[in-house]
Structure 1
């Protein structure tokens, strides 16, 4: 497993994005990047946190990602 550093454009991982549309993939990647920057997480940790948040709230990854992105936008304006 290679070490991961926060970037704005992480490599595409087909196994993670299975069943998601391109737009949903972009949302998940954007939310993951926010978590990586704000919490100093690596790519795997951020994705795992997103997944746990979605499971806990019984919603999809794209939905929780959109919520995180919208909240972050409101807080940074």
Structure 2
């Protein structure tokens, strides 16, 4: 995973940790499940989550 992809995953994980009161492992697991269900990569699902969160918190 590239450094940029890792930043996206870390950012999305942090969002899930704050919004859902999850620990790091739980948030990463949820991201992984979301990516699997949508048949996409972790970085892609992370970017989608970050973008949606930005739109909702403006």
Whether TM-score is above 0.5 comes out as: yes
Number of aligned pairs? 58
TM-score, normalising length: structure 1: 0.75
Which gives a bigger RCO, structure 1 or 2 (Cα 8 Å, sep 6+)? 2
TM-score, normalising length: structure 2: 1.00
Runs of 4+ aligned structure 1 residues displaced above 2 Å come to none
Gaps of 5+ in 1: 1-19
Higher helix share: 2
Deviation at residue 63 of structure 1 after TM alignment: 0.0
CA-based RMSD of the aligned residues comes to 0.2
Gaps of 5+ in 2: none
